[in-house]
Amino acid sequence: MNQSIESILRILEGLNTIDLVAKKLNVKKNTAIKKLHELRKLGFVETFGGGKQPRLYRISRRKRLKIGNPGLYDVINKNSPIKLVKPYEHKIINEKLTIEEAIIRAIKSGEFRPILASLALFNKVRDWHRLYKFAKNENVRRKVGALYEVARTIIKVRKMDEKTRKLMLNAKNEKKYIIQGLRSKNFQDIEKKWKVFIPFNYADLERYNE
């Protein structure tokens, strides 16, 4: 394959799998892997997924600038079995995004998959007071508490201290919907307790067991 780097980038730009790269370049899979490795070293490829999720490659004709610290999607993809396709490159400047703040940002996104994937982050929380502080600042305390209880039904999570739990449970003037219009058929007990609507059912959480 004697194509220039520029022509290859033009052909592959966007999201790809290994098989799709091989098909687009009309080469064998091993050759496609080698070419992706070469493009990654040059800074044109971003890889995510893997494990039980399909590995995807985002290829751009512009080199990725390694500026800033990992953003929300990077933190979730590193710590959750449910991987996210990044809609844009999100980096944190001058500080690192903590697990506790990532949970809050996922909830504030109002998007189904980031919130679902962020349930795995609860088993990484080391400072419940910090989580509460971020939740209070964004007025999502009861949402955090409810999702924490949902997370405990599918993964092993360190127990939240009683003081923090009560502060979250007694929060006032918070909106009921985590995702507008979505409520659970299976977690109504948690919904009633926390006065919020859970956007997931048991079937959605099965992704954690795949």
Identify the structural domains of the chain with CATH numbers, from first to last: 5-59 (1.10.10.10), 69-209 (no CATH)
- What is the pLDDT, as a whole number, of residue 27? 92
* Residue 113 clears pLDDT 50, i.e. is over it: yes
Mean pLDDT estimate for the chain: 88
Q: What is the pLDDT of residues 134-189, one digit of tens each?
A: 999 999 999 999 999 999 999 999 899 999 999 999 999 999 999 999 999 999 99
Structure tokens at 112: 């189904």
pTM of the model: 0.69
Judge whether residue 1 has pLDDT over 50. no
pLDDT digits (tens, 9 = 90+) for 35-93: 888 888 888 888 876 666 678 888 887 765 555 566 788 899 889 999 887 665 555 55
- Predicted local confidence at residue 107, as pLDDT: 97
Q: State the distance between the two ends of the chain, measured CA to CA, in whole angstroms.
A: 38
CA distance 86 to 190: 30
Tens of pLDDT, residues 161-176 = 999 999 999 999 999 9
Q: Please give the pLDDT value at position 88.
A: 54
Span 190-201, pLDDT tens digits: 999 999 999 999
| pLDDT of residue 2 exceeding 80 | no
The helix-helix angle for 99-109 and 72-79 (nearest 10°) equals: 110
Burial 107-140 (b: 16+ CB within 10 A, else e): bbeeeebbbbbbbbbbebbeebeebbebbeebeb
Amino acid at 168: M
- Is the pLDDT confidence value at 133 over 50? yes
Q: What is the pLDDT of residue 94?
A: 57
